[in-house]
């Protein structure tokens, strides 16, 4: 008689996420490179990366410009597991969180989108609530996902970029 074994296998469904990276302290190229490395080692597979851009600080004044980049990450992690991995990576790369909302930092990694999900909790809001106000996010995001539809606004990234009121400079510095 043959035995039947029931077992559960963790879902291997891949999810598409878009992440925004920013840094304005220390070696900015190295900070972004380390973030990409740790994300691919610990959170999923990098399937696309925008060029690097230099941008003015947004929401505060600082002498150092930011380097920004947007990544497309394929992951089996759920949004909260991904957030936990991101926080671990930021801490490992020297991120210090301050009481004020905006400050200089060695690395900042934000989840912009997770598939077409809408999540609103105290811990996590997806889509990121300020995407449409930030050229430093929209310009690199439009480079790799111009036709992605914002799940709340129901318009493409290209349209969000066209409508963005932000006037800060966003300058491409090189491709990754």
Position 4 scores a pLDDT of 40
Position 12 scores a pLDDT of 76
pTM: 0.87
Q: Which residue ranges form the domains of the chain, and what is each CATH number? A: 15-174 (3.30.70.560)
Buried b (16+ CB within 10 A) or exposed e, 67-93: bbbbbbbebebebeebbebbeebbeeb
Per residue in 110-132, pLDDT tens? 999 999 999 999 999 999 999 99
């Amino acid at each position: 008689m043959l035995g039947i074994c029931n077992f559960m296998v963790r879902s291997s469904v891949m999810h598409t996420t878009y992440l925004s990276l920013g840094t304005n302290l220390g070696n900015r190229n190295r900070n972004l490179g380390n973030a990409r490395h740790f994300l691919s080692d610990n959170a999923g597979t990098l399937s696309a990366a925008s060029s690097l851009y230099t941008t003015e600080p947004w929401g505060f004044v600082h002498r150092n410009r930011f380097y920004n980049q947007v990544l497309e990450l394929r992951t089996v992690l759920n949004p909260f597991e991904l957030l936990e991995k991101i926080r671990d990576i930021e801490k490992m790369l020297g991120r210090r969180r301050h009481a004020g909302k905006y400050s200089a930092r060695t690395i900042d990694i934000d989840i912009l989108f997770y598939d077409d999900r809408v999540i609103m909790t105290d811990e996590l809001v997806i889509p990121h609530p300020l995407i449409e106000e930030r050229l430093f996010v929209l310009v690199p995001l439009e480079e790799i996902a111009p036709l992605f539809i914002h799940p709340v606004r129901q318009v493409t990234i290209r349209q969000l970029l066209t409508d963005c009121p932000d006037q800060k400079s966003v300058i491409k510095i090189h491709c990754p």
